[in-house]
Amino acid sequence: MQDLIEQYSLYLRTERNLSPHTLRNYLSDLRQFHQFLLREGICEDKKRNIALEAIDHHVIRKYLGALAKACSKSSVGRKLAALKSFFRYLLKEQRIARDPLSFFSGPKQGKPLPAFLSVDEIFHLLGSVKGMNSSEVRDRAVLEVFYSTGIRVSELVGLNWNDIDFELGIIRVVGKGSKERIVPIGEIALKALRDCNAEQERKLKRSIKGERPVFLNRRGSRITTRSIARIVEKHLKATGILTRVGPHGLRHTFATHLLNSGADLRVIQELLGHASLSTTQRYTHVNLDQLTAVYDRAHPRA
């Protein structure tokens, strides 16, 4: 089983081109399933190799029942998706004769509305970071880029200086599945990036060859997604904003404010890098008050 998981891992990296985060979650879920099979004694020899033909819908149902007691619906859904993908791979490679998950569907998920900041809150947040020292210069650029572009935290972390065209006001972003897209960026955010670049050149005082990350930690290495989350949390607390959002909440804020200002949903889809318009359509729920107001103004019998 472990060998199959490793082979599947190689397939996901080379054929499916999954992001490191998604890949890590899938493999973790499969190893958890492997441990469950060992506890259940689904083995074919004394070396505890898993008997694949013994994994049927009864085993899967028992596993999902155990997950339901310990995990949220979203976690169960993700783990089930990982299993479905794994067994489809095994079927494709002719390692199994039938798919034991073919009749299983994930639990119905609730669709919570995405948290976001109001225009007043985001302006208060951005205005609170004065850029008095190196870390604040960087933090201000982080927040400005988030609100100006709506990119994912992983995309912001992976941003390099040669991805930014200061003349045209665009950035090149590498998103999920290594898909590239071009995103406009505002002049205020570009000004924050210029300040950040000047501070890096002053502080590092050396020529950086090869890859040049935009956002660095105190050691001069590329910053991590966890550090970005801490930056957002720190400045939200400092400003006393009660709405609790992480980096993804700033992405939601970007999209919500665009939609409020009349931007077309398909344009927002392109800017966010969503593969499906249905993902972007979540923002129409956020703006129910605005949609109702437009209806009341426009419909003859409202």
Q: Scan for tokens 């998981």, then name that residue.
A: 5
Q: Scan for tokens 């801490």, then name that residue.
A: 230
Do 142 and 214 meet the contact criterion of CB atoms below 8 Å apart? no
Reduce the DSSP state of residue 165 to 3 states and report it: strand
What is the distance between the alpha carbons of residues 249 and 122, in angstroms, rounded to a whole number? 11
For residue 182, the 8-state DSSP code is E
Phi, psi (rounded to 5 degrees) for 181 = -150, 160
The distance in angstroms from the start CA to the end CA of the chain is 62
Q: Scan for tokens 């089930």, then name that residue.
A: 80
Phi, psi (rounded to 5 degrees) for 27 = -65, -35
Amino acid at residue number 168: L
Q: Give the catalytic positions in this structure.
A: 152, 176, 248, 251, 274, 283
What is the distance between the alpha carbons of residues 13 and 23, in angstroms, rounded to a whole number? 8
How buried is residue 301: exposed, middle or buried, by Cβ count under 10 Å (0-12/13-18/19+)? exposed
What is the distance between the alpha carbons of residues 302 and 292, in angstroms, rounded to a whole number? 10
What is the distance between the alpha carbons of residues 133 and 137, in angstroms, rounded to a whole number? 6
Helices (DSSP H) in 96-175: which residue ranges? 119-128, 134-149, 153-157
